[in-house]
């Protein structure tokens, strides 16, 4: 059977799909990934991106952090693509129980998905480090230099920087969703960022699908591997 036919069959037989995705899910909305061919890690900056988006750098060089962050990591004005939309439809139809995402762009919710475990947080939430006040992504984008709260505190995006831990409840909820899934679709992720990538190991079922342009370290473990663009696959589903 052709791979796409097998995928369609598995989806139609499933009542508890979990989708686990990464930056590759949003590239077709126009947001670059990190490690793909056009990704941020292949471009040149004064400091390597891994260093800029670390907790240490945020504290020591907030100006430079925010210059990069506002330019490259604050994806405002982008729209969900076919993959986000199909996933939202499956949830509404009762066949998908959760989306687990490493993305920080909020596009799954914008497409209508309700149960989204955002492992690395969201650019849409920003909090003053001193008084805890919420600030919108627009506030951050439009602020001059480092966004400051009225109280004088520095505003920090609710995204997990290198050197920071993941939110325990989000991680637990993601783990449980994957553990109970009857079909796990892992897509648009290089599966190289831990601990997120390790979540795949909690899957107990025998229907693991991997859809990614490039090879991943988990290809060998999947029952179905498609090295294709997500849009091309999801427009058939
Ligand atoms: P990554 O390491 O950049 O890997 C992305 C993977 O997606 C690569 O292996 C690509 O081959 C693949 N890919 C890219 N486009 C497509 C496509 N259209 N169809 C199929 N495959 C595609 O990204 P990960 O998510 O694995 O790494 C985790 C980081 C990236 C997380 O911390 C994210 O927060 C971070 N990130 C998020 C966004 C976003 O929110 N949209 C954007 C860039 C980076």
Does the pLDDT at position 75 exceed 80? no
Query: Across-strand partners of 183?
Result: 17
Given a contact cutoff of 8 angstroms between Cβ atoms, the answer to whether 55 and 161 are in contact is yes
* pTM confidence score: 0.94
Is 217 buried (19+), middle (13-18) or exposed (0-12) by CB count in 10 A? exposed
pLDDT digits (tens, 9 = 90+) for 88-141: 999 999 999 999 999 999 999 999 999 999 999 999 999 999 999 999 999 999
**CA 133 – ligand 1 centroid, Å:** 30
Ligand 1: residues whose CB is within 6 Å?
22-24, 26-28, 31, 33-36, 39, 102-105, 120, 188-190, 192-193, 212-214, 229-230
pLDDT at position 159: 96
Torsions phi, psi for 92 (to 5 deg): -65, -35
**CA 34 – ligand 1 centroid, Å:** 6
| Active-site annotation holder among 84, 108, 120, 135 | 120
**CA 21 – ligand 1 centroid, Å:** 8
Q: Cis peptide before 195, with omega less than 30 degrees from 0?
A: yes
pLDDT at position 41: 72
């Amino acid at each position: 059977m052709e791979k796409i036919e097998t995928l369609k069959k598995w989806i139609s037989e499933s009542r508890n799909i979990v989708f686990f995705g990464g930056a590759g899910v949003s590239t077709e909305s126009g947001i670059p990934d990190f490690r793909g061919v056009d990704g941020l890690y292949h471009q040149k900056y004064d400091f390597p991106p891994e260093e800029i988006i670390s907790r240490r750098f945020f504290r020591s060089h907030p100006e430079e952090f925010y210059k990069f962050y506002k330019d490259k990591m604050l994806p405002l004005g982008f729209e969900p693509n076919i993959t986000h939309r199909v996933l939202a439809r499956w949830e509404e139809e009762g066949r998908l129980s959760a989306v687990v995402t490493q993305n920080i762009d909020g596009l799954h919710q914008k497409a209508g998905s309700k149960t989204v475990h955002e492992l690395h947080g969201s650019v849409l939430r920003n909090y003053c480090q001193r008084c805890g006040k919420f600030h919108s992504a627009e506030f951050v984008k439009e602020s001059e230099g480092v966004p400051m709260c009225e109280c004088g505190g520095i505003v920090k995006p609710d995204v997990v920087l290198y050197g920071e831990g993941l939110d325990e409840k989000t991680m637990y909820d993601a783990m449980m969703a994957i553990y109970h899934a009857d079909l796990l679709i892992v897509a648009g992720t290089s599966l190289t960022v831990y601990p997120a990538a390790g979540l795949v190991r909690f899957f107990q079922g025998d229907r693991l699908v991997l859809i990614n342009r490039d090879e991943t370290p988990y290809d060998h473990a999947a029952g179905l591997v498609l090295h294709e663009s997500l849009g091309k696959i999801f427009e058939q589903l």
